[in-house]
Amino acid sequence: MVSQRTIHTVFRILRREAPHWNAPVVTHMASLSRDPYQVLIACLLSLRTKDETTGPAARRLFSLADTPDKMLRLAPKQIERAIYPVGFYKTKVRTVIDVSRRIIEEYDGHVPDDIDELVGFKGVGRKTANLVLTQGFQKLGICVDTHVHRISNRWGYVRTKTPEQTEMALRDKLPQQYWIEINDHLVALGQTICHPTSPRCSQCPLERYCDKLGVVRSR
């Protein structure tokens, strides 16, 4: 079981092994540009879309417009062609335009660095807001997506039913020094080894610490 006693060991292993796994695309893009606006837009494009589609789409879009002011100069069809084939691309065009307009009109062209302000934007939930805070501003936050939710429960470190409950449980339990990096590591682990079904437990460097809760079949 991953416990408060073993969590530091777990993160030492994650820091050592994660560079060899499939890194989340938004994190990769954030490493190239820590611009909060680009992180926010990339996050919005990534929703319900595979990383291999999100990355190229975001790069195509940012080659045309990498600020909210430039984005609003594009025609909706230009944005649509740039981001296709991300999931729900027509809806995301409207979201990108709406978010960009609000940033200019209400925040003087700057993405707010407050989670309550961020979740007020169209299409932005707590996962996206936390990712903007951590990747765009390097501020404390815990981004909980399906991988973080699944794996932290599979470990037995938390016992929760929803990603939002997992975020709150981790805020209470996880040492702050690991808040920003947990998403990067567990997304990489989840995409490479700790799959939703039939995880590759025999290849996992954390197997000895994992309760394997909910695991019916593994490899």
> Is 184 considered catalytic here?
no
Q: Among 69, 127, 139, 172, which one carries the catalytic annotation?
A: 127
Give DSSP secondary structure letters for the chain.
---TTTHHHHHHHHHHHGGGS---HHHHHHHH---HHHHHHHHHHHTTS-HHHHHHHHHHHHHH--SHHHHHTS-HHHHHHHHTTSTTHHHHHHHHHHHHHHHHHHHTT-----HHHHTTSTT--HHHHHHIIIIIS--------HHHHHHHHHHTS---SSHHHHHHHHHHHS-GGGHHHHHHHHHHHHHHT--SSS--GGG-TTGGG---TT-----
> Is 145 considered catalytic here?
yes
Q: Among 108, 145, 161, 211, which one carries the catalytic annotation?
A: 145
Task: Cite the active site residues.
Answer: 127, 145
